[in-house]
Homo-oligomer: A and B are copies of this chain.
Amino acid sequence: MSKPIPLGMVGGGDGAFIGAIHRIAARMDGDYQLVAGALSSDAEKAQKSADALGIERSYADYHEMAQAEAARPDGIQAVSVVTPNHLHAPVSIAFLDAGINVICDKPLTATQEDAKKLAEAVKRSKARFFLTHNYCAHPLVREARAMVAEGALGKLRLVQAEYLQGWLSGDVQNKQAGWRTDPAQSGAGAIGDIGTHAWQLAEFVTGQTPSSLSADLSSMVDGRRVDDDARISLRYDSGAKGGLWVSQVAVGQEGGLSLRLFGTEGALEWRLQDAEALIFTGKDNQSQRLTRARDRSQSYRTPPGHPEGYLEAFANLYKDIAEVIRGDETHLDRIPGIRDGLSGMAFIAAAQESSTQDGAWTRVGA
């Protein structure tokens, strides 16, 4: 194992959910050492969080952090951006412009303008930009992509992606719910928070992007200012059709992410809650439960029979990113990046526009 990559983090202070996840993912395989952070915009809080986490260098300001780290010989080689959505762009741009690799949480940004600016920053920077759409790093999702690519389904006809959660069924008040339901910080509701995950998952596995969509966004909870349920129909240039349903008011659902694909020759199904299996069904109606013995991506840390899950998949991304940072681009094409981020933003824009126009079919990315 090579020397750990010095890593920084912006956001992710006390009480944050996704920051802790990124830290575990970075630690899992020993590829990183978290040495610097701007964990909060409040300097005192930032310092306190950094101390609690044993982070050597705490910054109150991410601009300062980007400059200072870039200047140090032992400065960070990558930064994890785990702020609310509206800060993804400015923070990422600051580090990209300082030549530091960025590992940014999804969705890309809160606005289309920000997405554009960020894309330009990625273009001009010598550093890389990675987006943590973690679900596509589950080993059997990678296997599903390989199977589709080699034609196991024949010509793709039907795509159904769902991400159902129930945690916003009521009028929730906490740090997680707070910024996610504030349009200024999140940019979108369920379609941004989990819809982009479902969109990217489908795109990753099928290798196809829908060309147009028809959306019906709802805010089911009184007083909610963002969408909390979205039912979206999809059309592909290939002739395939699809559906994407995401909800945060599907009461009782903890993490109902699933993808179902039907082609002329076979079908594939993957569910997050049974992530260690990939179900292939052929024209003879017989289903095969493919397990990791079938995984060709070599993404497992344990032998068959030892269930891995969400954190391991997240860590798979960090592992691949470490490889790239160290100069090995073998797995670059399976790490989500700016392209996935822009696609997700185009999806959000099209969904919001279609819904405003009572479900009129709307071009994606037009």
Contact = CB atoms under 8 A, between A and B. Distances in A.
Given A1-B53, A24-B301, A275-B307, A254 B285 contact: yes
Interface in A250-273: 250-256, 262-267, 272-273
A301 B311 CA distance: 9
Contacts of A170: 264, 283
A17 B5 CA distance: 25
A267 B253 contact: yes
A149 B67 CA distance: 57
B252 A282 contact: yes
A242 to B, nearest CB: 8
Copies of the polypeptide in the assembly: 4
Contact of A52 (B1, B309, B359): B1
A127 interface: no
A313 B66 CA distance: 37
A166 B229 CA distance: 29
A272 B306 CA distance: 8
Interface string A284-311: 1111111111100000011111111111
Contact of A4 (B54, B250, B253, B266): B54
Interface stretch (A25-33, A202-210, A339-347): A25-33
Interface of A: 1, 3-4, 17, 20-21, 23-24, 27-30, 52-54, 157-158, 160, 165-167, 169-170, 176, 214, 216, 218, 220, 229, 231, 233, 235, 239, 241, 243, 245, 247, 249-256, 262-267, 272-276, 281-294, 301-312, 358-361
